[in-house]
Amino acid sequence: MEKVTLTINGMQIQVPSNYTVLEAAKEAGIDIPTLCFLKDINEVGACRVCLVEVEGAKSLQASCVLPVRDGMVVRTNTKNVRETVKTTVELILANHNRECLTCFRNGNCELQRLSEELGIEEVSFQGEKRVGTVDDLSHSIVRDSSKCILCGRCVNVCKKVQEIGILDFTNRGFNTEVAPAFGKSMADAPCIYCGQCIVACPVAALREKTDMERVWDAIEDPDTHVIVQTAPAVRAA
């Protein structure tokens, strides 16, 4: 593979010409934060957390989808980059269900970790929030759109890795959510419950149903005393 030479944070490096700036930085030991990026699965430039400054460019660029060029000069840690990324994450948080203390992913959430790393202590933007839905009809996967950051990782893992594609973006604009088509529950979609979407999700918008929740869902038939598995309807978050 042909190589190109570029400069990142003053360090000159040579990388294959099919690399992105994110890959080149990683090879040079330079950490660029990411959120929507999932190598070879979700390379869509959706979250804008991986922004970098490129000499000569009018605006900041998403490094995860930015191909390297010979002679490119990149900076990953300028004041402009730091402040813009911090604001971007604050905007994501502004429309996110932030009940972290009672969240399934508390302490193991990529958004929470990123917010800590960026030193976000309060969210400056307060406004209308998307009305979320909780789908806990299936016996094993719970989807809570109030926590979804619309990164698309689950969509592409279901489509490209499992080749099933039951999840996709539905609705538009402020009401966009990631769900099975036609307002179906995960229980009614042809989901095989592989759990790949849960593994791909950076937050707790998709999670495994706990054993305790399965017990709560169970209802005993008063006549036969047989446990009948049931579940509540899709409800507002």
Among residues 50, 72, 158, 179, the one that binds ligand FES under rule CB under 6 A: 50
State the first-to-last Cα distance of the chain, in angstroms, to the nearest integer. Answer: 50
- Lookup: tokens for 130: 């998307």
Count the Cβ atoms, other than its own, within 10 Å of residue 88: 18
- Lookup: tokens for 143: 């989807």
Number of residues that bind ligand SF4 (CB under 6 A): 14
State which residue, 23 or 177, has the beta carbon closest to ligand SF4.
Answer: 177
Among residues 32, 72, 200, 231, the one that binds ligand SF4 under rule CB under 6 A: 200
Query: What is the rounded CA–CA span in Å between residue 105 and residue 95?
Result: 17
45 closest CA partner among 28, 65, 24, 30: 65
Among residues 148, 166, 186, 231, the one that binds ligand SF4 under rule CB under 6 A: 148
Tell me which stretch binds ligand SF4 (CB under 6 A): 24-32, 142-150, 213-221, 222-230.
Answer: 142-150
- Lookup: tokens for 179: 């769900």
Among residues 8, 30, 47, 178, the one that binds ligand SF4 under rule CB under 6 A: 178
> Taking the complex as a whole, how short is the minimal distance between the CB of residue 227 and ligand FES, in angstroms?
44
Tell me which stretch binds ligand FES (CB under 6 A): 48-56, 105-113, 126-134, 166-174.
Answer: 48-56
Query: What is the rounded CA–CA span in Å between residue 83 and residue 86?
Result: 5
Calculate the dihedral angle through the C-alpha atoms of 4, 7, 13, 17, rounding to the nearest 10 degrees: -20
Query: What is the rounded CA–CA span in Å between residue 45 and residue 150?
Result: 12
> Taking the complex as a whole, how short is the minimal distance between the CB of residue 85 and ligand FES, in angstroms?
10
Contact flag: residue 198 with ligand SF4 (CB under 6 A): no
Contact flag: residue 62 with ligand FES (CB under 6 A): yes
Contact flag: residue 30 with ligand FES (CB under 6 A): no
- Give the sign of the dihedral formed by CA 169, CA 172, CA 175, CA 180: negative
Contact flag: residue 203 with ligand SF4 (CB under 6 A): yes
Tell me which stretch binds ligand SF4 (CB under 6 A): 59-67, 84-92, 117-125, 150-158.
Answer: 150-158
Contact flag: residue 49 with ligand FES (CB under 6 A): yes
Q: Which does 35 bind (CB under 5 to 8 A by kind): ligand FES, ligand SF4, none?
A: ligand FES
Q: In Å, how far are 52, 78, 176 from 56, measured between CA atoms?
A: 12, 15, 35
The letter for the amino acid at 47 is C
Number of residues that bind ligand FES (CB under 6 A): 12
Kindly list the residues in this chain that would bind ligand FES in the complex (CB under 6 A).
34-37, 45-50, 62, 64
